[in-house]
Amino acid sequence: MDFDAARARLIKKISSEIKDRRVLEVMSRIPREVFVSEGVRYQAYEDKPLPIGYEQTISQPYIIALMTEALEIKGTEKVLELGTGSGYQTAILAELAREVVSVERVPELAESAKEVLDKLGYKNIHIYIAGEELGRKQDAPYDAIMVTAGAPRIPDDLVSQLAEGGNMIIPVGTRYMQELCKVTKCGGRTTVRNLGGCRFVSLIGKDAWGK
């Protein structure tokens, strides 16, 4: 299969909605196929989520692009990612930001993602196993936070880890359907903008869903 051609077709498709050229450029060269299993590799550039094991998924490329664009990363930021998953979103963030701190609650996924990311040569990514508390307070504050799992509400613990002027993208709603929210911290307060409907696996931990 010609993955390069398939990737180019996908980027052309999502570019009608995504206007941040840096996001599109990064996604046009990161090989999504290496982040999924061989059994579904032929679907790597279809605009849909794919299973990665352990009841987790690699998100739909358009949603990934939308969330990344909404973070408004300029290149100097330290970004927190909740849910390393396959590592694909992590790689995109690493290309756009100065540093990425990523937490994952499934050790096997964290290890496989780290292996792929190391092979691709990333040096500005730090992956940790998630604890009961959301995020990673010891490395806060973060200039931007990307949450790749759905929460029942905007967690105060994550807002406290977000730097002044920073953005957080997080799906909020039920376990089965959420609204993608852009949370901006300004003057110690937050404003929330709705980016549309989405569906993610559940965010597990204190101030989120229980197991």
The residues assigned a catalytic role are 59
Report d(CA 73, CA 81) in Å as an integer: 13
Q: Which residue has the tokens 């100097």?
A: 76
Four-CA torsion 208, 142, 70, 120, nearest 10 degrees = -100
Report d(CA 95, CA 99) in Å as an integer: 9
Asked whether the beta carbons of 24 and 41 are under 8 A apart, the reply is no
The 8-class DSSP code of residue 185 comes to E
With CA atoms as reference, report the closest residue to 112 among 64, 42, 167, 54: 54
